[in-house]
Structure 1
């Protein structure tokens, strides 16, 4: 990448960071949702950063900067980009049908692939079942959790065949037979349209099947999946630590050692993230899992420290400190959850 291109990318990231910052409080209050942010990210050409012959670290930087202002937007952006990653690896006809709309933000993407990664780790069966028809698949069952579930979204999902084989397919959320369940009230992430769905004999034509080889496909996308998740952990940690650093005086000096230790953990985390993003396919699976686990732990600890140092002001629900504290509370339970990550890492010991 040339110096001029790097400056352009940095300016675009600053532009979208300011846009997201100005909207973060309204998102948190439930007055708007992340579709507007995704569309603006698409307008700036950042949804496809590093996708067409570029490097993943370009997208890592985008998600990191956005999550520094709003984890809700960073999380929705991760889901959007993963849906785009899946479609980018699909057969040409399916790419032509949906890739541009996802890459520009004209259509929102839903990733429901976490269930496949959990299944392939040996931690449960796929909940969606696909039966062959003359011209495609008929799919039934639940999706227990997904985000960006808007009425006009594109859902990319895994399903198991009657013979135990696994497929990945894509379908619009307004396809007959899909029921979007009422959204639960969430801490700080209500604007991400996260909820469950039910498929009842949903027809998926052959030209909307991404792959018939679930295991190989998941092996290809998993490094990107985990690295981009770590990106939004790094983003929110950065802001929380910046805020904390300005308060290590007076009574705050009692937390100076904890702050310095967290800064060291954060620096190590960020260095590994960007190193791994230079060559994702070459990173050992255990290193990716450990990175993702460390990301959630650092984010939780950093936002807790910020909240402690802000005191009563941080306890007010309308404060950015309080919002970050609530946003980070999601990270240990997001799939892959802290429990799953610890279990998978134990298999390498």
Structure 2
């Protein structure tokens, strides 16, 4: 039986924030990767809060705090937490094999579910094809982008069957037939081990199928998916606005109005995030899409303003300002991308 989950206290949150802050520059330089951070987060018992999506405010706060120190870690923590979320909803035999190792951070989780959410929005077919066998499936095709992809990671992915079915399954990254492409050089977030993959007749036993009801499953996890993504947008925006606020003097005074406007937008974003996270059932699909879109827009604008106010010092690649500016550049293209979010939101208007 799983032990009762304890709400993160201030000391735990401060401990992990300090830990991430101390490693942020080395992560950005590519001298280490996020596995060390995930293990420490797991050791503190911070990954399990809000499992099942009933109340996500504690988990949102942890990701918020961590992303304020490093969006790289905040983003990888989100991916880890989503992989845990999926497995926690799996049939008991699958759940018992992987859940505790994911919750501890010892097993790194890859969420490759973006294609499923895009597919269910009517924006494309699932790229992975699953062919039935006597004891499960063989799966072939590409995963165009995923993060936390290490040789011993656990990948959660969607696939379509030739008969028109749609499944969600898990596979270890070192399984025969799983080909991990070399990670490209990124503007930032290189330590997240983000890359593409190809499956070549990968054997998936029936016991590793999480569900064959893709639409219902994605409907159940999407609030968590979007709320926790918004959490890392809020974290990096908060850090950028705080730094920008220290430079609203001299020539920086010309940006006071812009800072005030962004701060107002940020406060609205933060208030909605924690209100919805406390009870996700109070948010409509449109509310969550708008929240995630606003999170990306505010974070990008806040880091741009911070970089403008820092001037030449912020242009130096080793500065925290520069790192936040580069990290936030990923948010408009992260799935669901700004284009997808705008398109989905237009369907409700």
Scaled to the shorter chain, the TM-score interval is over 0.9
Query: Matched residue of 2:139: which SS?
Result: strand
Equivalence for 2:10: 10
Structure 1 portions without partners, runs of 5+: none
Matched, 1:87 2:90: no
Shift in Å at residue 49 of structure 1? Answer: 1.8
Instruction: Map 1:184-195 to 2 at 5 A.
Output: 184-195=184-195
- Length-normalised TM-score, structure 1: 0.97
Matched, 1:290 2:290: yes
Cα 1:133–1:6 change in 2 (3 A) is closer
Question: How many pairs does the alignment contain?
Answer: 345
Would you say the 8 A contact 2:13–2:65 is kept in 1?
A: yes
Shift in Å at residue 163 of structure 1? Answer: 1.6
Query: Matched residue of 2:247: which SS?
Result: coil
Equivalence for 2:214: 214
Equivalence for 1:72: 72
Equivalence for 2:258: 258
Distance in 1, matches of 2:18 and 2:250, equals 31
Cα 1:168–1:291 change in 2 (3 A) is same
Equivalence for 1:278: 278
Shift in Å at residue 250 of structure 1? Answer: 1.0
Cα 1:295–1:220 change in 2 (3 A) is same
Shift in Å at residue 50 of structure 1? Answer: 2.5
Structure 2 portions without partners, runs of 5+: none
Instruction: Map 1:25-44 to 2 at 5 A.
Output: 25-44=25-44
Cα 1:111–1:8 change in 2 (3 A) is closer
Equivalence for 1:121: 121
Matched, 1:48 2:48: yes
- Length-normalised TM-score, structure 2: 0.97
Equivalence for 2:348: 348
Distance in 1, matches of 2:187 and 2:13, equals 26
Superposition CA RMSD, Å: 1.3
Matched, 1:328 2:328: yes
Would you say the 8 A contact 2:8–2:58 is kept in 1?
A: no
Distance in 1, matches of 2:7 and 2:145, equals 38
Would you say the 8 A contact 2:52–2:85 is kept in 1?
A: no
Cα 1:213–1:7 change in 2 (3 A) is closer
Distance in 2, matches of 1:56 and 1:239, equals 22
Would you say the 8 A contact 2:53–2:280 is kept in 1?
A: no
Shift in Å at residue 279 of structure 1? Answer: 1.4
Distance in 2, matches of 1:129 and 1:281, equals 33
Query: Matched residue of 1:151: which SS?
Result: coil
Query: Matched residue of 2:69: which SS?
Result: coil
Distance in 2, matches of 1:279 and 1:35, equals 31
Instruction: Map 1:232-243 to 2 at 5 A.
Output: 232-243=232-243
Query: Matched residue of 1:68: which SS?
Result: helix
Cα 1:175–1:266 change in 2 (3 A) is same
